[in-house]
Amino acid sequence: MNLDDSPEQAAFRARVRGWLAGHAPAMDSPQAWVKDFGVRRGDEEEAFLQKARAWQALIASAGFAGVSWPVKFGGQGLSPVEELIYSQEEAKFGVTTETFDVGTKTIAPTIIEHCTDEQKARYLGPMLRGEEIWCQLFSEPVAGSDLAGLRTRAVREGDHFVVNGQKVWTSGAHYSDYAMLIARTSPDKPKHQGLTCFIVDMRTPGIEVRPLRQMTGATHFNEVFLENVVIPAENVFEAVDAGWRVINTCLAAERAIIGGGHRGPSFDQLRDLWRASSARLPAHRDALVDAYIGEQVLELLDMRIQTALTRGTEHLAETSVKKLYHGTVINRTARLGNVLQDTVEAMTDDERAYWHGEVLRVPLFRIAGGTDEIQRNILAKRVLHLPTAK
């Protein structure tokens, strides 16, 4: 494992850090910006979206929105390592591209690999500049862990498809402009072979988005109902019934970004809380040490992922392990912060609400992007090659 950047990577990191230092603070205060969609509500979410669009447009103009995208599509044509470095550095400045990551980091690579030149020209530019937000219409009530078991149907009628079905847990569907949809087009074929991916305009008649109220009070996730939704045949990714191959490109890209900047409260935030506490119990100190160790382990996993990317080798084990451990670290730090804030007198209501919200959104990190159980299955089957239980 390489613990240090190569000279070229170090130079890129320094350039990113210098640019962020000069621009990120001007966008908003870090404390206000870093709050996750899991705790935003109503007008607060809309205000964030406006700031997020402005930030995305700014980093696009500076060349940092699509670091690993081909130059002809507006990117820098660099490797996934530089993409990872940018994510790591951005996370330190309290700003985020999370609003657009589904599009720019998972759907865009899929469009680049599987779509026509006309589709690339139409969708990639607005996505990169933050003019259009994308979501994924993948999971269903009976097809979450087993995506190939989905029931949403797309029936060909001349030059278009008619889609009927239901999706669930769709992040950002209520503010998204476009979606990548996977539906069953050939029910007579084996379940992995009869699927097709589509580009969908979320304003198409027949699409109903119903926000799901989370225990934080926010509504970031949604149910999406599709009733006789008409999709032009030209909006197919690659080819009819090629959906499983297409969707795996998207899911592979999603796994790759797991190694980006850490989400959730940092050790520095916890240390500051502990210092302000009126009750510094030995148990709190021990938990603080555990939080520091957890953050350092995540940093080391980042280095392993970066090393694998540099060598062009498989990094499935590292990303799945980090996904699992990240949820554990977030759970510990959020709960410790919530305990410590009760011992700090000089705290605002917003600060207290932040720590309560962090505890409530912990399950998000253990479900989104593949549940803990899915990650364990990946490690067991594809990394350790363990036999299937009979």
Residues marked as catalytic: 254
Phi, psi of 54 (to 5 degrees): -65, -40
Three-class secondary structure of residue 242 per DSSP: coil
Measured CA to CA, the distance from residue 271 to residue 208 in angstroms comes to: 45
CB 170 within 8 A of CB 136: yes
Exposure b/e, 230-240, CB count within 10 A at least 16 = b: ebeeebbbbeb
Nearest-angstrom CA–CA distance, 36 and 228 = 34
CB < 8 Å & 24+ apart, contacts of 211-215: 211/174, 212/168, 212/169, 214/38, 214/360, 214/361, 215/360
**The token pair that represents 302 in the structure block:** 């980042």
Strands 178-184 and 134-137 turn out to be: parallel
Whether the Cβ atoms of residue 105 and residue 241 lie closer than 8 Å to each other: no
User: Could you tell me the two tokens for 339?
Assistant: 């305990």
Q: How far is CA 6 from CA 12, 82, 256, 383, in A?
A: 10, 11, 20, 28
The CA distance from 196 to 178, in Å, is 17
Widest Cα–Cα separation across the chain: 71
CA angle 93, 96, 97 (to 5 degrees): 145
Kind plus residue range of the DSSP H or E element containing 29: none
Q: Are 153 and 184 in contact (CB under 8 A)?
A: yes
- Collapsed DSSP state (helix, strand, coil) of residue 137: strand
Nearest one of 227, 347, 215 to 277, comparing CA atoms:
347
The answer for residues whose C-beta is within 8 angstroms of residue 217's C-beta and 6 or more apart is: 39, 41
